Structure 1
Amino acid sequence: MDRKTALIVFAHQNPASFNAAVRDAAVQELEAQGFKVVVSDLYAMKFRASATKDDIIGDLKNPDKFQYGEETMLAWKDGRLSEDIRQEQDKVKQADLIIFQFPMYWFSVPAILKGWIDRVLTQGFAFSLQNMYSNGIFRGKKAMLSFTTGSTQSMCSPDGINGDINVVLWPLQNGTLNFCGFQVLAPQIFWGPGHCPPDVRAKLLEGWRARLKGLLEENPLTFPPCEFFDLSFMAGFKLKQEVREEQACQPFGISTGHHLGKPLPPDNQTKAPPTGSKK
């Protein structure tokens, strides 16, 4: 059997942080399973967050009207992306599993991790209009978010002060990972570890280690497949009429984003459907 590779994209400034302990637990457990584990420690690498002309080596196609997406796509085709981007893209290509490890900042990822997403997942390499969502380039790979929060779980419930965590996660899990074709595993959320005593934090790490033992056997989260949509600009890339009719009698929307004006399907972005489920 070929040895599998896991990439951990790590975004925390402090090597003694709980996030670092979570990262180390993942490295140890996955290596024990026979994985080759690669870690991109973005702060230690001083990874540049800003997407600029400096990401492109050589002449620009249109220097007077710079368009980052188009220019980086052309540079990717020609092998002219900056070395730091090329190195990270090589890691992504080799990875069977990618874990993004970070503290949640302002309902999203830290800027340095957002910069990794912006700069590494270039058009052509990670997506195209022909290869997106369930037809995506990385549909043979798995990816997941593993993160800490400053808030409690109850604060991020549908009736909590921060609102439903499923809504918060939709842009990252659907708009980034699913968009690129990844099979998105349910997130690993460490609720408010900064407010927990050491014994509770130790139990959180034990639970993470236990989950990692069967991680690749887990079902991914569900998203509507491309076959549900008319994939043309003329049709507006909207749900097919027959799909709308099929969904009319359902009590919930299809997903957190495709709610169709109905209640959101419970835990759509935090729990995968059980084995054998049609969802």
Structure 2
Amino acid sequence: MVSSRRALWVLAHPQQRSLNGRLRDVGVSALQRHGWQVDQSDLYATGWDPLLTTEGGPEVAAEQDKLLAADLLVVQFPLWWYGPPAILKGWFDRVFQAGFGYDVVDPQSGRVRKYGDGLLAGKRALIVVSAGDRPGSLGTRGISGHIEDVLWPMLHGTFWYTGMLPLRPQLITRARDLDRASVAQQEQLLVTRLSGVLTEEPIHYLPLDDEHYDHGIRLRDQFAPSELSICAHRS
């Protein structure tokens, strides 16, 4: 029987025999055991060119096709200087081009579809991210900022912008110091997470509409009036 559920797993890590590579293998196998078809894009292994010089190309079209077919996008990477490796940023730059990731126009209204709407509306997006920091540093009041704030450009500015439903990141801390038992624990946490990935509550960001935002695309004063951080944009 052919599964109707499909995922795209994008990995951006330079070493195949790494914690990230191991977790990718475990995660893909877990999805497959639950009946998912899983496409993979291992950016370092395939030598993905991150430089956007001209739009399009067969390699870009292939990635777009995999993404359009997917119900779930999993993006996995180590956190480097509070962001993803350059090769992954280049994947987004090239794949999410005009007419696909942005400048997607609704033919009925003539409005550009974004922030809760778009060509990728309804798909779910999960980040699996490893960090060398201690857990507290990427949590509430942590010196590095909460992981959902650190990854705001991807969660809100890429996933939500294109219509996808962002899920809270799967964060692995102390990634360089994990012993065998701790790695096994992280594997089980990921497997458990993936088993309910279709039903868990996404991060609820506000849609871009006249009710919530004015014509300057500023949040109207009646919504979270005392909140000055990016948390104001959550519903």
Structure 2 length as normaliser, TM-score?
0.89
Q: Which residue identity does 1:7 align to in structure 2?
A: L
1: CA distance, partners of 2:41 / 2:35 = 19
Q: Which residue of 2 aligns with 1:245?
A: 222
1: CA distance, partners of 2:143 / 2:190 = 27
Q: Which residue identity does 1:176 align to in structure 2?
A: T
Q: Which residue of 2 aligns with 1:229?
A: 213
SS at match of 1:229: coil
SS at match of 2:82: coil
The structure with the largest alpha-carbon Rg is: 1
Q: Which residue identity does 1:236 align to in structure 2?
A: G
- 1:31: Cα distance to partner? 0.5
- 1:167: Cα distance to partner? 2.2
- 2:97 paired with 1:122: yes
Q: Which residue of 1 aligns with 2:74?
A: 99
Shift in alpha-carbon separation, 1:154–1:94, aligned structure 2, 3 A: same
Shift in alpha-carbon separation, 1:51–1:209, aligned structure 2, 3 A: same
Q: Is the 8 A contact 2:138 2:146 kept in 1?
A: yes
Alignment of 1:12-161 (within 5 A): 12-53=13-54, 72=55, 81-128=56-103, 130-161=112-143
2: CA distance, partners of 1:36 / 1:15 = 22
List per-residue Cα deviations over 1:44-97 (Å, max 9, x = no partner): 1100011113xxxxxxxxxxxxxxxxxx3xxxxxxxx21111111111111110
SS at match of 1:195: coil
Higher percent of residues as helix: 1
Q: Which residue of 2 aligns with 1:172?
A: 154
Q: Is the 8 A contact 2:115 2:162 kept in 1?
A: yes
- 1:15: Cα distance to partner? 1.2
2: CA distance, partners of 1:2 / 1:41 = 23
List per-residue Cα deviations over 1:76-127 (Å, max 9, x = no partner): xxxxx21111111111111110000111111000011000000000111122
Provide structure 2 residue ranges, at least 5 long, that are not aligned to the other structure.
104-110
- 1:156: Cα distance to partner? 2.1
Identity of aligned residues (%): 32
Aligned length: 225
Q: Which residue of 2 aligns with 1:3?
A: 4
List per-residue Cα deviations over 1:213-251 (Å, max 9, x = no partner): 111111110111112123xxxx212234xxx23544xx6
- 1:2: Cα distance to partner? 5.4
Q: Is the 8 A contact 2:11 2:77 kept in 1?
A: yes
Q: Is the 8 A contact 2:3 2:35 kept in 1?
A: no
Shift in alpha-carbon separation, 1:246–1:142, aligned structure 2, 3 A: closer
2: CA distance, partners of 1:2 / 1:166 = 32
SS at match of 1:147: strand
Alignment of 1:193-212 (within 5 A): 193-212=175-194
Q: Which residue of 2 aligns with 1:257?
A: 230
Q: Which residue identity does 1:21 align to in structure 2?
A: R
Q: Which residue of 2 aligns with 1:272?
A: none
Shift in alpha-carbon separation, 1:195–1:134, aligned structure 2, 3 A: same
List per-residue Cα deviations over 1:159-183 (Å, max 9, x = no partner): 3332333321111111111111101
2: CA distance, partners of 1:187 / 1:50 = 26
Q: Which residue of 1 aligns with 2:108?
A: none
Q: Which residue of 1 aligns with 2:107?
A: none
- 1:158: Cα distance to partner? 4.3
2: CA distance, partners of 1:223 / 1:42 = 29
